Structure 1
């Protein structure tokens, strides 16, 4: 079972691959969605959940989702067809950093996918290249709620992976972006996400005792739970920001 398969199973009960509740997703989309039949682009869309929720709320919008996970893209396409949204969303199995389109987008999303671009600011640069005039970016990124201690670092992080929230926002504004709205994931959202992640994977292993990967699934769930509860819980934060470009002087 590779990392992609583990992630796919782990997100069964929490299809938004970030510590965000359904209410938070709804609020963020209400704030972010453009009007007038604009187009949306999700860079690193995974299973396409953000686009499908956006399209269900605003049928006049059209969307493109991009991810290098061909199986996730295929599943997203099937889900969109089953929901009657297949004529409004196109999914593309390719590297999000290399995606090109003849369209310009009123909203570009990239939630928890900055690793695909080499970091936060490179992700914003890539997103900006796809924006229509006056368009917005909805981006989700981790930050340090507090300085990471040894247990957090031992869980697989480096101190310079992220900055604190204020520094993160300062870097964004210094790069020419204006925050219009932000949501900091609550401890409850984090706990729900992590319990869902580890629980979905553990349930799959219990339900498939004859599968050759069931032992690996158990181990992955246990290792993740250990890293979370004994490592980064309360230290790693997540912020989702709605941004527009600052006017050029």
Structure 2
């Protein structure tokens, strides 16, 4: 199965491609744009995928404008269709390309990079890139993994990760502070949010297999769903956490 097709199937019905519930997404966006008067603001999403975050912001703020950047043209095409259906296409600009190479003529009130810091080479590099796009007094929204507890060999194997890929929550926040940022809001995904995300991921893919048993990719998809579920339940459940921080520049 092509990777993007799998992404579409596994994330169907979930608000964003990260372990946050609807109310959590709204809370983060509200905190990020609280400093913007009225119902406007300019938002940039680096690694936007299907632009779930910008689309939600535009729906809630009738005068806001947003830009989404991603390397995946199929995801951007889906975002464009969703924007048309939502009646916000005139306020959403989409750019296909590497997020690190994106340039803009104007700064943004909020810059998002949720679950996409790897595209820059890590958390601090992503924050450096976001800072270059930020208007004075603006906010960066960054979503990053962290270790809820020391990772076991099973967790590392399931995630294809190394222990040094993440810090614990305290040290993750300390990295941000040392880099000159002040957290003004944060959301630590709950175990229930993680479980909902993972059950949907594995369940959606399993359901697709059952409904498309004759598809040439069905066996591979079932193997993927089975391995992912085993890696989650037997490896990183309760070990890998996810925090979404709203940050303002402290210096």
- Separation in 2 of the partners of 1:199 and 1:224? 11
Match of 2:235 among 231, 235, 238: 231
Bigger shift: 2-11 or 124-133?
2-11
**Does structure 2 retain, via aligned residues, the 8 Å contact 1:106–1:135?**
yes
5+ residue gaps, structure 1:
none
Bigger shift: 35-44 or 103-112?
35-44
**Does structure 2 retain, via aligned residues, the 8 Å contact 1:13–1:197?**
no
Matched with 1:110 is 113
Matched with 2:220 is 216
Structure 1 residue 206: deviation in Å? 1.3
5+ residue gaps, structure 2:
none
* Residues 88-107 of structure 1: per-residue CA shift (max 9 Å, x gap): 11111111111111121000
Structure 1 residue 35: deviation in Å? 2.9
* Residues 18-48 of structure 1: per-residue CA shift (max 9 Å, x gap): 0000011111111111335321000011111
Match of 1:95 among 93, 98, 101: 98
Matched, 1:70 2:73: yes
Structure 1 residue 154: deviation in Å? 2.0
Structure 1 residue 3: deviation in Å? 2.8
**Does structure 1 retain, via aligned residues, the 8 Å contact 2:15–2:21?**
no
Q: Evaluate the alpha carbon distance shift between residue 15 and residue 72 of structure 1 in structure 2; reply closer, same or farther with a 3 A threshold.
A: farther
Matched with 1:9 is 9
Matched with 1:19 is 19
Matched with 1:55 is 58
Q: RMSD of the TM alignment (CA)?
A: 1.0
Structure 1 residue 13: deviation in Å? 2.0
SS of the equivalent of 1:24 reads helix
Structure 1 residue 57: deviation in Å? 0.6
TM-score (norm 2): 0.96
Matched with 1:35 is 37
SS of the equivalent of 2:19 reads coil
- Separation in 2 of the partners of 1:189 and 1:173? 26
